[in-house]
Every structure is written in C-alpha cells, then in structure tokens.
C-alpha cells in the first residue's frame, strides 16, 4: 500500500490553494507565522507557499528546509502563472590526498572553512 502524501498549504494564492485542496488531503494555515509550528507538528511531505517577490526565495523556505531538509516546497507566484520547486540537498566533494600525517592535517586545515 502506498503511503499518503501529506501536504500543507501555507498561504495564498487562493486559486492554487483550491486546486491543491481538491487534489490532496491537506492541512492549511493562513499566515507565514504559523508555517514553522504547523510543519513541526504535522511533518508534511510537501509545503505550498506564496512567492510575493518573483526571483526571490521566500524566507520561510530557508527556515523550513534548515529544520526539515526532507520536506519539499512549492512556491507559487501570487501575481503571475509561475511556480518554483524548492528542496534541500547535500553535496559531497572529494579530493585525493597523500596518505600521511601531513596529507591528513593539510586536508583538515584547508577544508575547515567549508564547514558551516
């Protein structure tokens, strides 16, 4: 049996919310302030948010994805027919190093600035 997809419709636009509400069994919040608490409580697979400024990621995306990188977010523009899919990922890099104490210490020292 397939697992149900849990969706949280976070805020406007109304037409997109109505489409999603008709398609999925979802939760809904009206304001940005409610999003983090509701995500924490319900752990949806997908959150749908409004994009108020085209070309700028909504701040709530950063908040939610830092706390829950497994969640996916769809941003829907409130004025145009435009939507964006946001998700978190982890890039893993590699570089060959000398198999010695010097090589290990050199790698540790040179890559510490990449850890955030």
pTM (predicted TM-score): 0.67
Whether 44 maps to a domain, the answer reads: yes
Kindly give the confidence (pLDDT) of every residue in the chain, 116 residues in length, as a single tens digit, with 9 standing for 90 and above.
566 777 787 766 676 677 777 777 678 888 888 898 999 998 998 998 888 888 889 999 999 999 999 999 988 887 777 888 999 988 777 777 777 778 777 777 764 444 44
Whether 92 maps to a domain, the answer reads: no
Q: Domain holding 65: CATH number?
A: 3.40.50.2300
Q: What is the pLDDT of residue 113?
A: 44
Whether 2 maps to a domain, the answer reads: no
How many CB atoms sit inside 10 A of residue 67's CB? 11
Whether 97 maps to a domain, the answer reads: no
**How many domains does one find in the chain?**
1
How many CB atoms sit inside 10 A of residue 28's CB? 15
How many CB atoms sit inside 10 A of residue 71's CB? 20
Q: Which domain, by its residues, includes 42?
A: 7-86
Q: Is 11 left (phi over 0), alpha (psi -120 to 50) or beta?
A: beta
Whether 60 maps to a domain, the answer reads: yes
Q: What is the Cα–Cα distance from 77 to 59, expressed in whole angstroms?
A: 14
Contact status, residue 75 vs residue 86, Cβ threshold 8 Å: yes
């Amino acid at each position: 049996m397939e697992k149900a997809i849990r969706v949280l419709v976070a805020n406007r636009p109304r037409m997109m919310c109505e489409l999603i509400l008709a398609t999925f069994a979802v939760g809904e919040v009206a304001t940005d302030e409610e999003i983090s608490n509701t995500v924490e409580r319900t752990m949806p697979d997908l959150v749908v948010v409004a994009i108020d400024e085209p070309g700028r990621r909504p701040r709530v995306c950063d908040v939610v994805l830092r706390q829950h990188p497994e969640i996916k977010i769809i941003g829907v523009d409130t004025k145009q027919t435009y939507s964006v899919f946001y998700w978190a990922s982890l890039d893993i890099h590699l570089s060959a190093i000398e198999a010695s104490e010097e090589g290990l210490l050199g790698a540790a020292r040179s890559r510490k600035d990449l850890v955030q």
